Amino acid sequence: MCTVLLDRGLTWTDVVAVARGERLALSDAAWTRIDHASALVAALVERGDRAYGITTGVGALADTVVDRGAQARLSRNILMSHACGVGPRLGEAEVRAIMAAQVANLAHGHSGVRREVIEQMLALLNAGATPEVPSRGSVGYLTHNAHIALALIGEGWVQHSGARVPAADALRRLGRSPVELSAKEGLSLVNGTACATGLACMALARAQALLEWADATAALTLEALGCQLAAFEGAVLALRPSTGIAAVGETLRARLSGSGLLAAAQGRRTQDALSLRAVPQTHGMARDVFVQTASAVDQELASVTDNPVVFGTVEAPTVRSEAHAVAPALAHAMDSFAIALAQVAQMSERRTDRLVNPLVSGLPVFLAADPGAGSGLMIAQYTASALASECRRLATPASLDGGITSALQEDFLAHPTAAAGKLLELLDDAEQIVAIELVAAAEAHDRAASRGRRAPANDRLHQWVRAAIAPYADERPLGPVLEQARALIRRASPTG
């Protein structure tokens, strides 16, 4: 097992590595920043300066002064009142991603959380003790973060070694005691955009794999349907400058190189339908948006998103309230990427329809082994169509939802967490849609084998699919076959 070292910050790929089981450690420089910020908060408390969430309440209670004796109680109470999520739990990888992003946020050195609190979070993270976090009920970040923070003080539940155990018991197993929170720590633990950012990192990882599979599966379909390769020539695609278009074009040319099927089909049509001809433009656009989204997520990880922030010296500490936790840029990026992936999914469903539709495929009706007595993949296309409709609904921007909370104090909401959450839901559907196309394309190649030899790269992919999924002949329920294909694309990269 490797260790990800946090020095100046993390990238989205670092967060994904930790989410998938790598350890996280902080450099000496990061610990120095943390200790300095903690000393600044202690100095502010000593001076009695008015500071949001330190010497006052939170939200609409920002003008309510909290005396020094109650400041630790305020920190604990914030966790208790904010841990009000509902619904199904987030996956352990998603929670670990949020924890990694939160540690990165605190390690910028402008929050004031003490070293021992961050050490507690790292101990849980690196031991694989993952707090249980309900997935629903947050307009921003507070709720998810609060459920994670509960485990630090021995409250709530964690998943550890495959079992659900009380957080206090998990800490004892690790030789640790619940931490006692000090001033500001409760607020800092629930604050910031770590929730949306962690979820966004996981979405990026899944989308990166999906885009590879979308290209490979499309190539399999293009060959089975006898597409016209001229549309994918490098000089043609270069007329629309785009790194993504160029990359997809190169992939398609490589995967279709040496195809006897395409050689036999050359000149058969003047031009192909757009779901075939526009693969570089649609998939390439999604790749360009991926790069923009990854940049926005890395920018978020490089940002201080706590409120308030502390800086200065112990002799002259400064605290400022600001709004970095709102994160409209992250919400916009998630919404934009959702739209891009929904288009990729829609195009995949259209290609599946062309594979099973005898009016345009030139292949047996619905790719059935025994047409009439068998329906083949007729209803698989229905499933893909239903999921494509759901993708369109999930692509509706969350960043425009608005909302008013905390007695008009928080009267603008950007919804980055909701945007990241629905992007993950959309990915569930998009992965399955591409998996359905993969099943259909493999069946189509079985039926088209007599027309010519497959391109070597496509032949390797077809053989790999067939090693895992037998041809379909209406002899078994189709649903598990489609789910099996989705499992394939989630656990491996396309071969060839």
DSSP annotation of 159: E
Q: DSSP of 327-372, one letter per residue? A: -HHHHHHHHHHHHHHHHHHHHHHHHHHHHH-HHHH-SSGGG-SSBT
Which of 216, 351, 338, 336 minimizes the C-alpha distance to 278? 351
Torsion of CA 264, 268, 271, 272, to 10 degrees: -70
Determine the Cα–Cα distance for residues 441 and 213; give it in Å rounded to an integer.
13
> Is 438 within 8 Å of 489 (Cβ atoms)?
yes
Residue 156, CA atoms < 13 Å, CB-side half-sphere = 28
Determine the Cα–Cα distance for residues 145 and 141; give it in Å rounded to an integer.
6
Determine the Cα–Cα distance for residues 361 and 153; give it in Å rounded to an integer.
62
Look up residue 313 and give its two tokens: 């010296």
135: enclosing H helix or E strand: strand 134-136
Determine the Cα–Cα distance for residues 427 and 98; give it in Å rounded to an integer.
19
Which of 423, 467, 478 minimizes the C-alpha distance to 210? 423
Determine the Cα–Cα distance for residues 220 and 227; give it in Å rounded to an integer.
10
Determine the Cα–Cα distance for residues 15 and 202; give it in Å rounded to an integer.
8
> Is 181 within 8 Å of 120 (Cβ atoms)?
no
Positive or negative, the CA dihedral 158, 164, 169, 173 is negative
Contact partners, residue 185, CB within 8 Å, separation at least 6: 75, 112, 113, 114, 117
Q: Hey, which bits of 57-129 come out as E strands?
A: 86-89
Instruction: Write out the catalytic residue numbers.
Output: 52
Residues 428-458: b if buried by 16+ CB within 10 A, e if exposed: bbbbbbbbbbbbbbbbbbbbbeebbebbebb
Determine the Cα–Cα distance for residues 211 and 431; give it in Å rounded to an integer.
9
State the distance between the two ends of the chain, measured CA to CA, in whole angstroms.
Answer: 29
Contact partners, residue 477, CB within 8 Å, separation at least 6: none
Determine the Cα–Cα distance for residues 335 and 299; give it in Å rounded to an integer.
17
